[in-house]
């Protein structure tokens, strides 16, 4: 089973696992936040020295040009202390990735080798205090001074301070700064600049003010900081100019004329980050499941009179809490591997769809991690509350995942807009009116006919049939698309502004985002089950996929019943199937979590030890 999960990346995953099992990576408790940050930095340095940071960089810049391997590394690091994961992701994925994606040969050669071996630590300075989700409104200015051929980076107000910048509080020497470009009094929207923030001695550069963000709920091994720029000058060449540049004479030259399209192209750096975060969040969920399942399979409490107490994993409520989450972890694993392949092979044509997939899976996976870790902690009772059993760190460190690298609620709306526009154009555009009319018109002509007999079938063969599952997931997605289009169209036809119409249908759009992601996860789950050629393994996977599918249909049964997609008797039969599948999967549960292949040293929780 582990071979299946490791897939083509088995070699790199094995290397990272081995590293994480060395004494250098054992967990410690720290006397201070500063000591913790220095340890995380030291861990990062080991990984950099092993060439893992530069994996995705071009070969001529010290890298391997292997994005696949980089993503597999991130995912595996998700088994360890998550401050390390985030510090690693900031340095190599965001800071380095930004230079790689938005810079040209000059920047690549000048910076990437030093980024990759961590001799140049840096930050990704996009977010501002007043501008989190709505990046387009950032206020930091980069004004071109033609006389000196420099850009002047400036923070014009308190809401414009760069906020929450990883690597800024202690270690960063430079930052890729997102700023509104001004040339000759005219504004050219957001562009990105290489700005030194500390000198060789670690002192802030002239004009740069740096403050620590202070204690956080988790991830305290990452040095998040705030940045203010007071008329800081940088040479013209330090603008990352892959898509746009300013000529010495002050002419703005760009290969993407449409400002909106240019803006979202530049945000593309976030797509890889979202895949990394989503997949690593899944790794943290797997850690939680490993601990809770192993503990649940040993812990006994209550039982029949005069007999040994019952193992708590044999209780229906315990199975109901953990088994669907175990199934979902497998489904998400397959979905992230699919997304990774699509992302590495992406073209201009499918970029929109892949962005939507990355946004949706990031949101779906991180919410699932929060829920999974909470459930697992509770399933371990008071033992789960002791720091030594790991939930303290796992829960705290992942808590921000649902709102950073794109707030999940905002991301799900992007996904929905993508669905409504069939990923054919920029789904970030607010003006969707034309598309909505198109989709609403299509919907009116293509109403799915429900077979009244099928809505009543309750036999196990049908209920466990993957075709039924996929049909249900697809039906939900399609209905939510067409009804969203209809609801939006009727408001716009009545003269409502599109912003207001979208707000009135906002929850509907979030639901659509979920339905889209769930359909993709199920499709990939079923594809991987289908491809499995080990009969015994296949049976286990089929049960997991059925549990994933049916527990979600059960979760949405209110919606399915409203739509008359099924009758009450069928939804009750589904509940019984879920009960049964939970009991079936329980038998393989320990083997299934062991197959995640999490190094013992990463788990470390005494209650998860196999011997205990």
Q: How far is the CB of 495 from its own copies (least distance, A)?
A: 14
600 burial type by CB count under 10 A (0-12 exposed, 13-18 middle, 19+ buried): exposed
The tokens 């990105």 sit on which residue?
192
Q: How far is the CB of 395 from its own copies (least distance, A)?
A: 7
Q: Alpha carbon of 328 to those of 265, 266, 513, 548, 584: distances in Å?
A: 32, 33, 17, 6, 15
Residue 403 near its own copies by CB under 8 A: yes
Task: Count CB atoms within 10 A of the CB of residue 387.
Answer: 10
Interface with its own copies (CB under 8 A), residue from 80, 543, 557, 586: 557
Residue 563 near its own copies by CB under 8 A: yes
- Point out which span in 300-308, 336-344, 345-353, 585-593 binds its own copies (CB under 8 A): 300-308
Using CB under 8 A as the binding rule, the residues of this chain from 22 to 61 that contact its own copies are 29
Residue 404 near its own copies by CB under 8 A: yes
CA distance 62 to 57: 7
Contact letters for its own copies, residues 160-179 (x by CB under 8 A): ---xx---------------
Using CB under 8 A as the binding rule, the residues of this chain from 338 to 397 that contact its own copies are 370, 374, 377-378, 381-382, 384-388, 391-392, 395-396
Q: How far is the CB of 380 from its own copies (least distance, A)?
A: 8
Q: Alpha carbon of 31 to those of 34, 395, 453, 516: distances in Å?
A: 8, 21, 67, 46
Q: Alpha carbon of 489 to those of 76, 426, 432, 495, 501: distances in Å?
A: 45, 19, 10, 10, 9
- Point out which span in 170-178, 417-425, 514-522, 553-561 binds its own copies (CB under 8 A): 553-561
The tokens 């060449």 sit on which residue?
237
Residue 156 near its own copies by CB under 8 A: no
CA distance 238 to 181: 13
Interface with its own copies (CB under 8 A), residue from 34, 187, 568, 610: 568
Q: How far is the CB of 410 from its own copies (least distance, A)?
A: 8
Question: Quick one: 384 or 599, whose CB is closer to its own copies?
Answer: 384
Q: What is the length of the chain?
A: 612
- Point out which span in 103-111, 183-191, 299-307, 514-522 binds its own copies (CB under 8 A): 299-307
Q: How far is the CB of 68 from its own copies (least distance, A)?
A: 30
Residue 8 near its own copies by CB under 8 A: no
Residue 497 three-state SS: coil
Tokens of residue 339, six digits: 């997304």
Q: Site for its own copies (CB under 8 A): how many residues?
A: 75
Residue 579 near its own copies by CB under 8 A: yes
Residue 127 near its own copies by CB under 8 A: yes
Tokens of residue 422, six digits: 């069939």
Using CB under 8 A as the binding rule, the residues of this chain from 487 to 526 that contact its own copies are 497, 499-500, 503-507, 510
Angle 597-603-608 (CA atoms, 0-180°, nearest 5)? 100
CA distance 122 to 110: 14
């Amino acid at each position: 089973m582990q071979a299946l999960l490791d897939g083509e990346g088995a070699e790199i995953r094995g290397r990272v696992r081995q590293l994480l099992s060395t004494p250098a990576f054992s967990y410690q408790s720290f006397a201070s936040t500063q000591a913790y940050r220095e340890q995380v930095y030291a861990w990062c340095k080991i990984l950099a020295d092993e060439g893992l940071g530069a994996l995705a960089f071009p070969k001529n810049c010290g890298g391997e040009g292997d994005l696949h391997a980089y993503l597999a590394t991130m995912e595996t690091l998700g088994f360890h202390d998550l401050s390390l994961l985030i510090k690693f992701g900031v340095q190599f994925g965001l800071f380095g990735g930004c230079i790689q994606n938005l810079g040209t040969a000059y920047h690549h050669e000048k910076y990437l080798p030093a980024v990759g071996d961590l001799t140049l630590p840096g930050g990704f300075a996009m977010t501002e205090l007043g501008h989190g989700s709505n990046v387009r409104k950032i206020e930091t200015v980069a004004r071109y001074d033609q006389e000196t051929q420099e850009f002047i980076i400036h923070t014009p107000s308190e809401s414009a301070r760069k906020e929450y910048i990883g690597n800024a509080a202690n270690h960063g020497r430079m930052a890729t700064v997102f700023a509104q470009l001004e040339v000759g009094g005219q504004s050219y929207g957001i562009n990105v600049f290489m700005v030194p923030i500390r000198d060789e001695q670690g002192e802030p550069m002239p004009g740069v003010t740096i403050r620590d963000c202070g204690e956080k709920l988790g991830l305290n091994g990452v040095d998040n900081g705030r940045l203010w720029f007071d008329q800081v000058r940088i040479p013209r060449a330090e603008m990352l100019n892959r898509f746009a540049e300013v000529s010495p004479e002050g002419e703005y030259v760009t290969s993407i004329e449409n400002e909106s399209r240019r803006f979202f192209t530049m945000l593309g750096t976030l797509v890889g980050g979202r895949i990394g975060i989503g997949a690593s969040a899944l790794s943290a969920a797997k850690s939680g499941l490993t601990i809770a399942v192993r503990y649940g399979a040993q812990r006994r409490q209550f039982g029949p009179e005069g007999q040994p107490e019952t193992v708590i994993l044999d209780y229906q409520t315990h199975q109901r809490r953990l088994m669907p989450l175990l199934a979902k972890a497998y489904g998400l694993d397959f979905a992230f591997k699919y997304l990774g392949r699509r992302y590495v092979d992406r073209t201009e044509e499918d970029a929109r769809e892949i962005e939507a997939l990355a946004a949706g899976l990031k949101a779906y996976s991180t919410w699932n991690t929060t829920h999974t870790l909470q459930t697992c902690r509770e399933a371990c009772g008071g033992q789960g509350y002791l720091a030594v059993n790991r939930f303290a760190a796992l829960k705290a460190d992942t808590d921000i995942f649902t709102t950073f690298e794109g707030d999940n609620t905002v991301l799900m709306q992007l996904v929905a807009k993508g669905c409504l526009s069939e990923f054919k154009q920029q789904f970030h555009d607010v003006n969707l009116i034309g598309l909505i009319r198109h989709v609403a018109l299509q919907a009116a002509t293509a109403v799915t006919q429900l077979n009244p007999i099928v809505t009543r079938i309750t036999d196990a063969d049908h209920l466990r049939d993957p075709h039924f599952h996929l049909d249900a997931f697809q039906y939900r997605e399609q209905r939510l698309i067409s009804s969203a289009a209809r609801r939006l169209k009727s408001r716009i036809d009545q003269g409502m502004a599109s912003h207001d119409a979208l707000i009135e249908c906002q929850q509907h759009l979030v639901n659509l985002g979920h339905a889209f992601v769930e359909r993709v996860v199920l499709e990939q789950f079923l594809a991987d089950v289908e491809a499995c050629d080990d009969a015994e393994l296949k049976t286990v996977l089929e049960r997991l996929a059925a549990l994933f599918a049916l527990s979600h249909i059960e979760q949405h049964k209110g919606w399915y019943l409203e739509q008359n997609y099924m009758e009450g008797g069928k939804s009750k039969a589904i509940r019984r199937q879920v009960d049964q599948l939970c009991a079936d999967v329980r038998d393989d549960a320990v083997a299934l979590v062991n197959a995640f292949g999490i190094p013992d040293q990463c788990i470390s929780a005494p209650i998860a030890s196999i011997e205990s």
